[in-house]
Chain A
Amino acid sequence: MRELIEKVFLRHFGMHAGLADSASISVDGSSLAYTTDSFVVDPLFFPGGNIGKLAVSGTVNDLSTCGAIPKFISCGFIIEEGFRIADLDKIVESMASEAKKAGVRIVTGDTKVVKRDQCDKLYINTSGIGYLPEDRKHICTGETIRPGDKIIVSGTLGDHAITILSEREGLTTGHQLESDVAPLNNLTEKILGQPENIRFMRDITRGGLATILAEICENKTFGIEIEEGRIPVRESVRSISELYGFNPLFLANEGKMLFIVKKETDEKILRQLHTEETGKDATIIGEVTEEHQGIAVLKSVIGGKRIIEMLGGEILPRIC
């Protein structure tokens, strides 16, 4: 996907910034963050949410992740002919509810109905705008990260990916599985009172934690070391991941954030995160280090060390 974006889209659109979740733009002296996303999840309804909740949360999080304060969202719907109005109503109601929780307004939209088989039930496209205070602009780039900084994840990993897999495969495990889909702006605002303490934030979506950690270190003069035993994973998610041969470090989430914070403030920030439902399981998992520059390293539960790579290719289940 990255290659496609660079070879086709960046080339023609003349975009030069790094591939962040949102763009930082200036309008009449005001700094804004602007993002867009499209949602094609299948199934449309899953434990913990639906495509509508995902659309609002995902858009809010793309803005929050760079320190912006989300304000307005647009949504476009592409609807397959014959789609049940009752289902559409549930989805849209859910979007309104999430927007209210996140304190954002859905201010404009569009609807297209296409013939049967021209799309898979329903697709949603969104865009979002938020204010980006000047003193938060470093958060997206991570330019102030330095050795000694601590690495925090806001909660358990892999919930969304494994819930969707279970729904698709019809797995019954006896465990309660639920997507973690949620807007995280209320969580991030809890710790952005002193933005200089927050070196970097990123929502942990496709590619998982591993991809973000590997990307942060690439070509940098610092390294990262995390401890596998400290990474929070629900027992139900761990069980299914192991059955299929998946590594939770590579699994997608829709309501989890990675923070890199100034060492001296880590415990305070952790306490602040714990006051929010979406941050109650926040954990320090590692730190930035002077060693193995440019490389993220994982110390396994048994003490072995290995390099953390970006997700290369698809996540495929084991055969035997």
Chain B
Amino acid sequence: MNFTEGFRKKEFVEYLITRIAGNIPRKIKLMEVCGGHTMAIRRYGIHSLLPADIELLSGPGCPVCVTAQDYIDGAVAYAKLPDVITVSYGDLLRIPGTKSSLESCRAGGCDVRIISSTLEALNIAKDNPGKKVIFMAIGFETTVPGTAVAILEAKNSGLNNFFVMNAHKTMPAAMAALIDEGIPIDGYIGPGHVCAVAGSSIFNDLALKYHVPVVISGFEPVDLVQAIYMLVKMISEKRAEVEIQYSRLVTSEGNRKAQKMIEEVFEPSTQTWRGIGAIQNSGLRIREQYAAFDIERQYPVKTEPSEEPRGCLCGQVLKGLVKPDKCKLFGKNCTPLHPVGACMVSPEGACNAYYNYRSI
């Protein structure tokens, strides 16, 4: 049997839903912090199968959605410079900045290329020695190793035209910030691929300090429903621990080799999250010995003050305060074809998930 079939079996889901219904102590709010989880929940209609006492909130787990507006404006400024090749993951291109986007830059003649691996970016730099190749380094712990590998490889091979515009973020501090802001969260569906790299233990302090359970979930329907069951069980037993549902990929310690590479190249820093603001220890900064690859330190650019698009509620959506379809722009002025905000562009954005996978 193909293992994914087992994780999509209707009878397993039905069994777990029954167990959930039998264990709910009260109305509870659970937040999934990974955009991939939001997409899977909407795609399979999991939210429509849960008992009414469970409300699912989408959190700030979409890499492009949480990237601050001024990063996009800066990226556009770099893209317009002569002799620059901008390389990026696909959905960042369509995120609207204050006045433009990387996609508009490309249409206007700038050299902006979509890649799916940082090693492609290195090859582009090697093939274009007369150009500055700038990689848009966004994402959480999942994608940081890719950036670290690229920087280490660039250093080892003496590549001096490869740069990174860094906006990497890390999850636990942002999840704590939401609780500090008073957002009612009874449990977290934890990010599966983040923890495959970083280990589930990164959430131990969060669970202890805020007495909120965290279950690290996979992405198949049975994974998610089982994770929800494990959360409901902990809540009913008044336990607040970190448990792993995604045991086929995640351990408490994570991928030590990847972590060593990250520690070699990056150090913890403050990062600005769209909708939340600056959060200490929620991001990564390139260490001084690799500063030669940090484009903002090597060639700073000036940009106009950034403005969020008028009427856009992305910030509130990212905190789980507003459901996407309650935004006045949703589905009217703001669609995947004509997005106003970042959450509508990305396939991991809550608004995009709600638009493409609407409930009846």
Contacts and interface: CB of A to CB of B under 8 A. Distances in A.
Interface bracket on B: 35 or more
Contact of B91 (A242, A247, A307, A316): A316
B320 interface: no
A309 B2 contact: no
A3 B94 CA distance: 18
Interface in B211-228: 221-222, 225
Interface string B229-263: 00000000000000000000000000000000000
Given A247-B43, A295-B360, A307-B358, A313 B48 contact: no
A207 to B, nearest CB: 12
7 contacts: A305-B48, A306-B357, A307-B357, A313-B335, A319-B64, A319-B348, A320-B63
Contacts of B194: 320
B36 A313 contact: no
B48 to A, nearest CB: 5
Contacts of B140: 320
A297 interface: yes
B306 interface: no
Nearest to A238: B4
A297 B222 CA distance: 22
B227 to A, nearest CB: 14
B46 A320 contact: no
A300 B45 CA distance: 7
A245 B39 contact: yes
B221 A302 contact: yes
B49 interface: yes
Interface residues of A, number: 27
A242 B44 CA distance: 14
A320 B48 CA distance: 25
Interface of A: 3, 169, 235, 242, 245, 247, 292, 295, 297, 300-307, 309, 312-320
A307 B337 contact: no
B264 interface: no
A316 B90 contact: yes
A217 B193 CA distance: 38
B124 interface: no
Which of B44, B91, B356 has its CB near the most chain A CB atoms (within 10 A)?
B356
B49 A312 contact: no
Contacts of A300: 43-45, 221
B8 A301 contact: yes
B138 interface: yes
B13 interface: yes
A319 B63 contact: yes
A302 B4 CA distance: 13
A169 B116 contact: yes
For the residues of A in contact with B, the DSSP-based class is loop
Interface of B: 2, 4, 8-10, 13-14, 36, 39, 42-49, 63-64, 89-91, 94, 116, 138-140, 142-143, 193-194, 221-222, 225, 335-337, 339, 345-348, 352, 355-360
A312 B337 contact: yes
Contacts of A292: 360
A312 B89 CA distance: 19
B337 A313 contact: yes
A235 B2 contact: yes
Contact of A301 (B44, B89, B94, B339): B44
Which of A235, A306, A313, A320 has its CB near the most chain B CB atoms (within 10 A)?
A320
Contacts of A313: 94, 335-337, 339, 345, 352
A235 B3 CA distance: 12
Given A318-B36, A319-B89, A320-B139, A307 B8 contact: no
A220 to B, nearest CB: 16
B49 A302 contact: yes
Contacts of A317: 89-90, 116, 347
A312 B360 contact: no
A309 B348 contact: no
Contact of A304 (B44, B345, B356): B44
B110 to A, nearest CB: 17
A237 B328 CA distance: 37
A223 to B, nearest CB: 10
A301 B9 CA distance: 7
A304 B89 CA distance: 31
Nearest to B192: A320
B17 to A, nearest CB: 9
Contacts of A319: 63-64, 89, 91, 138-139, 142-143, 346, 348
Nearest to A320: B142
A313 B49 CA distance: 28
Given A301-B221, A319-B143, A306 B360 contact: yes
B36 A304 contact: no
A307 B347 contact: no
Contact of B46 (A242, A304, A312): A304
